[in-house]
């Protein structure tokens, strides 16, 4: 009842003061590299390691699986300098390219010019972030950051000095992390945490809607929910760890048969990963059950003509059932059809990425430490 009360109050209180960031779904890095004939070469040089962001170290690691393609626009500095960023619930730091960076990836993106901002302040700590396909290094600084009409003064963020070659193919300039402060490099207070601490939003929650098939309308809402993006009841799932947005997954089933996560496992709702990622053996089993063949990169390939005959996959999260049809978990492109399941090595941690989130509107409540999921429309 308390969770429903929170939602009702949120809908009433925020009807006139939502802070929305429209998201754009552009051509993915995978598609761009395919067109250039470089995809196989990049895969060999930079093996995909989707679990990279979940390995703890002295700095906050993140990952990129070649399909991070939802991004929105923020601004930094006075006067404001605009950047496109991926809103990533699987990491906690904000960083953008800078004029101090000469990497090809930086040259392909907008660069923050510290000398042109009257509110810019240098930090005194370096920043290093590891990706599944490379890394970035740089420095911490602070400035005014504007997100969805919300102005956050003195926000600590990273400006890059070097970036992995793979980032040259990404549409977004940088990344804005929306996980908890405990994961942030150098214990930096994340942007959303500062919004809450400074009473810039009425409720300590944000929500994400990801459209399908390049349709318009994807958005992040800070301070509430947008009821036009979901139908039916919201299922509230408690966090098992307030670090990433981590929850308990009971099982993965196909046609009533458990095909993965037998006996239960941990999962993370992650807007910064495109696929559903799990242990190699479980993902191979899932691909087999839906009729996919695993290629040399661990990708499940299917006959595009068979999609309508492929079964649904059901994910049970803390007793709540969420079903994904084949039309949602198979990606169709000019280069073939692939399942949206990625191999994560031997780790038992699962990532429920954009393949899942496109089907279920996701509400992230940091105060109550719950995730709300409802069927997207």
Rounded Cα distance, 158 and 99, in Å: 13
Residue % of the chain over a pLDDT of 90: 65
Query: Is residue 226 annotated as a catalytic residue, yes or no?
Result: no
**What value, to the nearest 5°, has the Cα angle with vertex 85 and ends 142 and 200?**
55
CA 265 to the chain's CA centroid? 20
Cβ atoms 121, 143 nearer than 8 A: yes
pTM above 0.75, yes or no: yes
CATH superfamily of this structure's domain 18-201: Acid Proteases (2.40.70.10)
**Residue 126 confidence class, pLDDT cut points 50, 70, 90:** very high
In the chain, which residues fall in CATH 2.40.70.10? 18-201, 228-376
The tens digit of pLDDT for each residue in 61-73 reads: 223 333 445 888 9
Phi, psi of 256 (to 5 degrees): 80, -5
CA nearest to 24, candidates 81, 109, 83, 98: 83
Length of the chain: 377
Rounded Cα distance, 69 and 27, in Å: 7
According to the model, what pLDDT value does residue 68 have?
A: 44
The string of DSSP letters for 94-158 reads: EEEEBTT--SHHHHTS--B-GGG-TT-EEEEEEEEEEETTEEEEEEEEEEEEEETTEEEEEEEEE
Query: Is residue 88 annotated as a catalytic residue, yes or no?
Result: yes
Contacts of 41 (CB under 8 A, 6+ apart): none
Is residue 167 helix, strand or coil?
A: helix
**Residue 169 confidence class, pLDDT cut points 50, 70, 90:** confident
In the predicted structure, residue 346 carries a pLDDT above the cut 50: yes
Rounded Cα distance, 343 and 66, in Å: 14
Q: Which of 173, 193, 226, 270 is catalytic?
A: 270
Q: What is the mean pLDDT of the chain?
A: 85
* Candidate from 50-54, 159-163, 273-277, 316-320 with smallest mean pLDDT: 50-54
Q: Which of 88, 250, 354, 365 is catalytic?
A: 88
According to the model, what pLDDT value does residue 189 have?
A: 97
Rounded Cα distance, 172 and 69, in Å: 8
Rounded Cα distance, 212 and 175, in Å: 21
* Candidate from 50-59, 97-106, 232-241 with smallest mean pLDDT: 50-59
Peptide bond into 288 cis (omega under 30): no
228-376 has which fold?
Cathepsin D, subunit A; domain 1 (2.40.70)
């Amino acid at each position: 009842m308390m969770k429903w009360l929170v939602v009702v109050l949120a809908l009433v209180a925020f009807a006139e003061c939502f802070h929305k960031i429209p998201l754009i779904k552009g051509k993915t890095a995978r598609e761009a590299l395919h067109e250039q004939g470089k995809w196989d070469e990049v895969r060999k040089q930079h093996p995909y390691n989707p679990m990279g962001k979940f390995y703890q170290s002295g700095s906050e690691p993140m990952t990129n699986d070649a399909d991070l393609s939802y991004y929105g626009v923020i601004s930094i500095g006075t006067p404001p300098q605009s950047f496109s960023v991926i809103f990533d619930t699987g990491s906690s730091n904000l960083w953008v390219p800078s004029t101090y960076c000469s990497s090809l990836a930086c040259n392909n993106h907008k660069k923050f010019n510290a000398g042109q901002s009257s509110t810019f302040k240098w930090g005194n700590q370096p920043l290093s972030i590891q990706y599944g396909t490379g890394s970035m290094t740089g420095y911490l600084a602070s400035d005014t950051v504007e997100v969805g009409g919300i102005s956050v003064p003195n926000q600590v963020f990273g400006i890059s000095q070097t970036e992995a070659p793979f980032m040259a193919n990404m549409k977004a300039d940088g990344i804005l992390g929306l996980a908890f402060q405990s994961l942030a490099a150098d214990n930096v207070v994340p942007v959303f945490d500062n919004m809450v601490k400074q009473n810039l939003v009425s409720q300590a929650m944000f929500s994400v809607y990801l459209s399908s098939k390049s349709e318009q309308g994807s958005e992040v809402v800070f301070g509430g929910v947008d009821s036009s993006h979901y139908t039916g009841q919201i299922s509230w799932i408690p966090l098992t760890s307030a670090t990433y947005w981590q929850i308990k997954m009971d099982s993965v089933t196909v046609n009533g048969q458990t095909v993965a996560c037998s006996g239960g496992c941990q999962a993370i709702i992650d807007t910064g990963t495109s696929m559903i990622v799990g242990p190699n053996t479980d993902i191979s089993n899932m691909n087999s059950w839906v009729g996919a063949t695993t290629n040399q990169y661990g990708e499940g390939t299917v006959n595009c003509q068979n999609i309508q005959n492929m079964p649904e996959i059901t994910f049970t999260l803390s007793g709540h059932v969420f079903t994904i049809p084949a039309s949602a978990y198979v990606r169709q492109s000019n280069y073939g059809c692939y399942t949206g399941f990625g191999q994560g090595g031997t780790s038992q941690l699962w990532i429920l990425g954009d393949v899942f989130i496109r089907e279920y509107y996701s509400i992230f409540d940091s105060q109550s430490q719950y995730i709300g999921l409802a069927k997207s429309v």
